[in-house]
Amino acid sequence: MKRILPVFLLLAIVLNGCSSAAKSTPDVAAAAAAKPVATIIPLGTPSAKYGSEVARPLISDFTNIGPRVAGSAGETQAAQYIATVFTALGYSPENQPFTAEAGSKSITSANVIAVKKGNSAQEIIVGAHYDSTEAGPGSDDNASGVAVMLEVAKLVLNMPTPYTIRFIAFGAGASGLLGSYAYLNQMSQEEFENIIGMIDLDSLVAGDNAYVFSDEGQLSSVRDWAVEWATGNGFDLKTMQNVDLTDPASGKGLSDYAPFRDAGIPFAYFETTNMTLGDKKGTTQVDPRYGENGVIRNTKYDTLTYLDTTFPGRVDAHLDLFISVLYNLLTQYEAPTP
């Protein structure tokens, strides 16, 4: 059935252009591009420990930027950083500026987009928001998602993939998913129809357990493929069927998959949390003795130093898991024929 871009998405955000910011030159950018891809694949064994070469330095650098509040200088610096790394890896990133209303504020931000051509013009979107709240530098939420996305972008660049992959670092995600709405609003109907699914990476290192979620009957095949592959290769990736992915505070979707889901685009959502604690909806990520009653994201505890000290080895283990799963998914997964 032909999908039609819903009118409410076209009205959800007011978009205006702004000039692209100048590029920064983070030290990690050169290191990210230095090692040939062929020397670090195939992936698939926990002993490989992927994540140390690109992802961990990226999280560290994002932490050093500090809070990346939507529309702030910190967020702009992060966007410049991401574009620089994409360029160093061999991509030609596009800066997609937008202005949107968040409550009584008008926020100017940008999405950073890089495309890897595949064997098909059909596309899988891989997205992660790069902003944070004022509470802290957001090492987990969501420097970790951006870091995994960038390291996998490095790994797949020269590999054949069944589908074209569109990597998107979303701006203003913590201010109402503004970047993902902006991206949808700037798509043509043809582009919209060409998307076979969206993969969202958010808060990937702090929580007790690694999860992948989706709506039943949409991109559940990606969810199930990812879990089966992970289990067969020694990784513990969990899932739950018919899970409630509503943010208890806002009543909206939890992350940037939500605008795509609401537009009828299949999605898969990767995160770390603990679905057995608290409200059992993933709000409580860890034992309530840690963080703020078990919550790391959007708190002062969301730093690499706190995570490494409190949960030794967790960051690296989760980076290894998500990088390995996502790489293999993007290079092997093919959607079922309708």
Assigned domain for 121 exists: yes
pLDDT at 97: 95
Average pLDDT over residues 183-194: 91
pLDDT digits (tens, 9 = 90+) for 79-114: 999 999 999 999 999 999 999 887 778 889 999 999
Side-chain-side CA neighbours of residue 328 (13 Å) = 21
Please give the angle made by the CA atoms of 70, 178 and 26, to the nearest 5 degrees: 45
pLDDT at 142: 95
**Count of C-beta atoms within a 10 Å radius of residue 2:** 5
pLDDT at 39: 29
Beta-carbon contacts of residue 86 (< 8 Å; ≥ 6 apart): 92, 93, 112, 114, 150, 153, 167
Which of 241 and 79 is assigned the larger pLDDT? Answer: 79
pLDDT at 219: 61
Assigned domain for 296 exists: yes
- The answer, yes or no, to whether residue 141 has pLDDT greater than 80, is yes
Average pLDDT over residues 288-302: 96
Confidence label for 299 from pLDDT (cuts 50, 70 and 90)? very high
Boundaries of domain holding 47: 7-332
Average pLDDT over residues 186-190: 90
User: What phi and psi, each to the nearest 5 degrees, are found at residue 112?
Assistant: -115, 125
Assigned domain for 35 exists: yes
Q: Are 200 and 256 in contact (CB under 8 A)?
A: yes
- The answer, yes or no, to whether residue 156 has pLDDT greater than 90, is yes
Side-chain-side CA neighbours of residue 141 (13 Å) = 28
- The answer, yes or no, to whether residue 25 has pLDDT greater than 70, is no
Please give the share of the chain, as a percent, with pLDDT higher than 70: 82
pLDDT at 220: 79
Full strand arrangement of the beta sheet holding 94-102: 94-102, 105-116, 164-170, 123-129, 195-201, 267-273, 209-213, 237-238
Assigned domain for 338 exists: no
CA separation for the pair 88, 69 (Å, rounded): 25
pLDDT at 98: 93
pLDDT at 281: 85
- The answer, yes or no, to whether residue 19 has pLDDT greater than 60, is no
Q: Are 5 and 187 in contact (CB under 8 A)?
A: yes
Q: What is the pTM of this model?
A: 0.86
pLDDT at 8: 32
CATH of the domain at 12: 3.40.630.10
CA separation for the pair 199, 180 (Å, rounded): 12
Average pLDDT score over the chain: 83
Residue closest to 28 by CA, chosen among 150, 144, 158, 155: 150
pLDDT at 12: 31
Assigned domain for 152 exists: yes
Which residue do the tokens 């959502």 mark? 269
50-59, 101-110, 188-197, 241-250: which range is least confident on average? Answer: 241-250
Assigned domain for 1 exists: no
1-10, 175-184, 276-285: which range is least confident on average? Answer: 1-10
Residue closest to 77 by CA, chosen among 87, 92, 67, 86: 67
Q: How many domains does the chain have?
A: 1
pLDDT at 31: 42
Please give the share of the chain, as a percent, with pLDDT higher than 90: 63
pLDDT digits (tens, 9 = 90+) for 50-69: 676 779 999 999 889 989 99
